[in-house]
Structure 1
Amino acid sequence: MLTIHAADELRHTWDDPAPVKDGAVVVEGARVAATGSLADLQERFPGARVRRWPGVLGPALVHEGPLPGAPTPRERVHAVLKLGAVAVLEEYAGTAELRAAAERNDVVVLASAVRRPAVLQTGRADLAVFDETGACVATVCAGRLVHRRR
């Protein structure tokens, strides 16, 4: 099923010099099928489900510090997703339990922080939406909506 994630603004990278107002990303499975204005994408993909979010839509983040504390590895990984991140550094996912929890949730474990998050056509659909205060509104990891603020 195709899903269009739309927001007030789309940034392909967080320092994107030309953000798209009323921008959107079409997600098909775990991949980005298209990006552009919501109006254009709704016309191109008329049967797609639309999820409209308040704020700025862009690439999900890399969590570069220790995973937040929580009673279980699964909850620690979910806490990262709630921050808008879908990747963690290997040095902070040092236990087999944390790595397994990350893998089960499609969270990428990186050897170093060299990855520059970007929304790319045919790339993995890792997205995050942040409101005007910087709080994460929604996180999409490998095409799945894994967090939304209520």
Structure 2
Amino acid sequence: METIHAADLVFADWDAEPVENGAVVVVQDRIGAVGRYEELRERFPRARVRRWPGSLGPARVHDGPLPDAPSPRERVHAVLKLGAVAVLAAYADSPELRAAAARNDVSVVAAAGPGRLTERSARADLAVFDAAGECVATVCAGRLVHRRK
């Protein structure tokens, strides 16, 4: 089933010009389409729709130590709550942290690079931020893994 994630502004990458009233279609764990909400709603009429306040764009790479928490799972979840779906290998330095990351589809990468929302080829890793820069929602490999209440 497809899900349309719509927001006030959608950025293909955080340095690009935003699409107002934009959306991203997620098909399983991949990006199916990126564009204006109305056009995507016509193309995918049976898709579930999730509307988010704020700006939607590529999820981040957490480029510092993982937040302190009682367990590796909770440390990884804390990263997801920040809008990140990848961590640097230098900071995922224990087998327990790497296992927790793998169980949650969080990538362990050598270096941070710019994310981009690319149709049909990119893994569906999205994040939504409000005007204050706080993470509203995180989608990791097509799954909604964090939603602020």
TM-score range, shorter chain: over 0.9
Partner of 1:2: 2
What SS does structure 2 have at the residue aligned with 1:70?
A: coil
Q: How far has the Cα of 1:87 moved from its partner?
A: 0.4
Q: Supply the distance in 1 between the matched residues of 2:2 and 2:73 (Cα, whole angstroms).
A: 28
Q: Supply the distance in 1 between the matched residues of 2:10 and 2:58 (Cα, whole angstroms).
A: 9
Q: Supply the distance in 1 between the matched residues of 2:114 and 2:99 (Cα, whole angstroms).
A: 24
Q: Supply the distance in 2 between the matched residues of 1:141 and 1:4 (Cα, whole angstroms).
A: 14
Which residues of structure 1 form unaligned runs of 5+? none
Count of residues in Structure 1 that have an aligned counterpart in Structure 2? 148
Partner of 1:121: 119
Partner of 1:110: 109
CA root-mean-square deviation: 0.5
Where in structure 1 do 4 or more consecutive aligned residues deviate above 2 Å? none
Partner of 1:39: 38
Partner of 1:15: 15
What SS does structure 2 have at the residue aligned with 1:6?
A: strand
Q: How far has the Cα of 1:112 moved from its partner?
A: 1.7
TM-score normalised by L of structure 1: 0.98
Q: Supply the distance in 1 between the matched residues of 2:148 and 2:137 (Cα, whole angstroms).
A: 6
Partner of 1:28: 27
In the alignment, residue 14 of structure 2 is paired with which amino acid?
Answer: W
Which residues of structure 2 form unaligned runs of 5+? none
Counterparts in 2 of 1:132-143, with a 5 A limit? 132-143=131-142
Q: How far has the Cα of 1:111 moved from its partner?
A: 1.2
Q: How far has the Cα of 1:89 moved from its partner?
A: 0.2
